[in-house]
Structure 1
Amino acid sequence: MMGRRKWWCLQWLTTLVFVCLCVTLYYNVEPPHPRMTVEEWKLPTKWILTEEVEARMTRRRHHLAQVCKETGLDQPSETNSIRSQEFLINKMFNLVWCPVYKAASSTWLWNFNLLAGYTQQHLLHDIHRPLPLARNRYPRPSEGELLRVLRMRPAVVSFMIARHPLHRLVSAYRNKIVLNRKDYSKIIKVMKAGHPELGPSGWGAWLELVPGHVGVPTFRQFVQYILEQHEAHHVLNEHWIPASQFCTPCLVNYTVLAKVETLDEDTNYIIFASGIEGMVLPRMVNRSPEIATIDLARHYLCQLSNKQMQQLVSLYRYDILLFEYDVQEYLTCVRYNV
């Protein structure tokens, strides 16, 4: 009997040591960059604007204009003004883009950098820093400069790309907090310290007790941090600020309102409408983990409390209204959460 007890104790201690070693490696080894995939974007040899695509674009613009008027977002104010410094303007090809980060931004940074004269080899070598490369060739414009370009004749092709705001939030968490935890270490500490009660439970909570280790905040802690930043009227990080606030589509008359959900057709629309099909060798650049965000959205979002979800819907209400996104399934799945 004593022999069996000693054997179980030995097994338990071995497991404990193994878990501690795993945790030590996980938290002390520098996190790798997000797994990158760079896939060729197949452009059609001929492209014709179909009635279906044109009708969809027209309907989006009409819907946007109607909601902008109903909500008063078509009038500039202290909290609703054009963030011109965020735009990229390519004057040679009459192309204007407001990048909504975590909404195909890596793909279009690739395209804009190609148009700026970078080679594919250069871009692949600096694959993790496309925005600094772009800003070397595309200075941040003033509002006056942006408006002058938007009024040019012949007209420029201006666009932004929307994404379901809650899916974009999940993508930002996975890419910027889980994988890039070293770059966001200061924010992570604030997220974890602010609401430890929203931290991991069960075995996850036990592992957090290992001295000297700073773990990844839970999705609930991440969301609570954003909600409190918003409540305190702080400017939100570019990766989770509402797209309607960042790119102000009610104040900028975009030629194309694209969406991640119809990205293939919308990208072709932009490329051929601007005439750059012979100038770029487009690539689909993906910085996310292997499992698609859409497949994990419920896993993360349904962990939230009903109160958190209600507050998120309020925070992203204009994105939801302007770009016609449905959040009912997430409101339903958190209904009974504390």
Structure 2
Amino acid sequence: MKENVVHNSSIKANNYIISSIHCIAALRVVMSTSAYPFGDKGYIFENGSREDGLLTREKFMEVNARMEARRDFLKTECSRLGLDTSSHKSNAWECNIFKAASTSWMYNFNLMANYSAAFLDKTKEVPLQLARRKYARPTAEMIKKAQGDSITFLIVRHPLERLASAYNDKIVHAWPKSFHDKLGHRIVKKYRKPADKTRTEKYPVFEEFVSYVLDEAKAKRSLDMHWTPYTTFCTPCKFNFDVILKFETLDEDQKFLIQLAHLQDIVKPEWKNSGKGTTATVHIISNLYARLNRRQLDGLYDLYKDDFRLFGYSIDSYYDMIDKEKVSSHG
């Protein structure tokens, strides 16, 4: 197996990337830490004297406990739902899932591959394609072998927030004449009702997009990687993760991961292409889901139910968006 070396660090980069990101809801990665064995001492903490973006020792231990709880929860739910049995085949180990900090971490991976920040900030090339020039696709056997001296991590996001993000990014703001632009025109043609023909939007409105997604799922056709459930795309119950980051706590979680992997001199917590947690983002999501009826929301829960269950997400607040008089029985 070819070994890439990060020249400005003592950390070996074999199989840094196992998974990149497509529409990211989940990002699965293995980072080699052979220079710093997992669990070894020597972590660097914020010392209060400079803005280094590091966690204090106390906060690091707090986040570490959070990660342990998430690992235990995932393991318990996988067993309860029967998703960890041999009857469930592992999906592709190269697992690229989008809309959950994928752009930010792909930027970091490319920094670790010795692309300069100046180059990455100005290039028009696709970050995933840049990474693929540096990192070979590992086989399942290679990943299992590397796991002993590597840190594995997964990034997840609320399934319906991820869906809204994919809709906004890939459908509303699709590049002209791109695959998703053409898909949008097909959705409008099929799902726009005669009474709505006077609508000015050239792209599908959210309820049209959701109808399309649910019909595709009902017909058992493969869903676009940007909104396919990540429990079927990544099969998280078939892999033991050291760190499970959540989009909702990503600022602290990624600082923890960077310190855990001793990468603070190479990468910095930095947001690329993110609308995380802003009032505007929450408002946009609320307006989108307010357009749906209960049947559509029930359908989305059924589609993403394992994503909800495995990572402790709830759909209840989304039922409040469509009608405050309605209460969901889904946890």
- The bucket for the TM-score relative to the shorter chain is 0.7 to 0.9
Which SS does the other structure have where 2:237 is aligned?
A: coil
Note if 1:196 corresponds to 2:184. Answer: no
Structure 2 CA distance for aligned equivalents of residues 44 and 50 of structure 1: 9
Q: Would you say the 8 A contact 2:254–2:269 is kept in 1?
A: no
Structure 2 CA distance for aligned equivalents of residues 327 and 128 of structure 1: 37
Which SS does the other structure have where 1:286 is aligned?
A: coil
Structure 2 CA distance for aligned equivalents of residues 320 and 237 of structure 1: 19
Match of 2:8? none
Note if 1:102 corresponds to 2:89. Answer: no
Q: 2:261 aligns with which of 262, 269, 274?
A: 274
Q: Would you say the 8 A contact 2:157–2:248 is kept in 1?
A: yes
Q: 2:204 aligns with which of 201, 213, 217?
A: 217
Note if 1:131 corresponds to 2:128. Answer: yes
Match of 1:21? none
Which SS does the other structure have where 1:84 is aligned?
A: coil
Match of 2:295? 307
Structure 1 CA distance for aligned equivalents of residues 175 and 300 of structure 2: 23
Shift of 1:333: 3.7
Q: Would you say the 8 A contact 1:167–1:297 is kept in 2?
A: yes
Note if 1:259 corresponds to 2:246. Answer: yes
More helix by share: 1
TM-score (norm 1): 0.73
Q: Would you say the 8 A contact 2:54–2:259 is kept in 1?
A: no
Structure 2 CA distance for aligned equivalents of residues 300 and 72 of structure 1: 33
Q: Would you say the 8 A contact 1:271–1:277 is kept in 2?
A: yes
Which SS does the other structure have where 2:271 is aligned?
A: strand
Structure 1 CA distance for aligned equivalents of residues 282 and 136 of structure 2: 34
Q: Would you say the 8 A contact 2:92–2:234 is kept in 1?
A: yes
Q: 1:206 aligns with which of 186, 198, 203?
A: 198
Q: Would you say the 8 A contact 2:55–2:256 is kept in 1?
A: no
Which SS does the other structure have where 2:163 is aligned?
A: helix
Match of 2:70? 60
Compared CA separation, residues 241 and 207, structure 1 to 2 (3 A): closer
Shift of 1:65: 0.7
Q: 1:320 aligns with which of 304, 308, 319?
A: 308
Compared CA separation, residues 200 and 259, structure 1 to 2 (3 A): farther
List structure 1 segments (4+ residues) > 6 angstroms apart after TM superposition.
Answer: none
TM-score (norm 2): 0.75
* Aligned Cα root-mean-square deviation (Å): 2.6
Q: Which structure is larger by alpha-carbon Rg, 1 or 2?
A: 1
**Structure 2 counterpart of 1:82, one-letter code:** N
Cα shift readout 1:83-118 (whole Å, capped 9, x = no counterpart)? 2123xxxxxxxxxxxx53100000000000100111
**Structure 2 counterpart of 1:280, one-letter code:** V
Compared CA separation, residues 250 and 232, structure 1 to 2 (3 A): same
Q: Would you say the 8 A contact 2:60–2:256 is kept in 1?
A: no
Structure 2 CA distance for aligned equivalents of residues 221 and 261 of structure 1: 28
Structure 2 CA distance for aligned equivalents of residues 276 and 48 of structure 1: 19
Which SS does the other structure have where 2:238 is aligned?
A: coil
Structure 2 CA distance for aligned equivalents of residues 138 and 129 of structure 1: 15
Q: Would you say the 8 A contact 2:55–2:255 is kept in 1?
A: no
Q: Would you say the 8 A contact 1:100–1:161 is kept in 2?
A: no
The count of corresponding residues between Structure 1 and Structure 2 is: 272
Structure 1 CA distance for aligned equivalents of residues 309 and 195 of structure 2: 33
Note if 1:160 corresponds to 2:169. Answer: no
Compared CA separation, residues 329 and 58, structure 1 to 2 (3 A): same
**Structure 1 counterpart of 2:286, one-letter code:** R
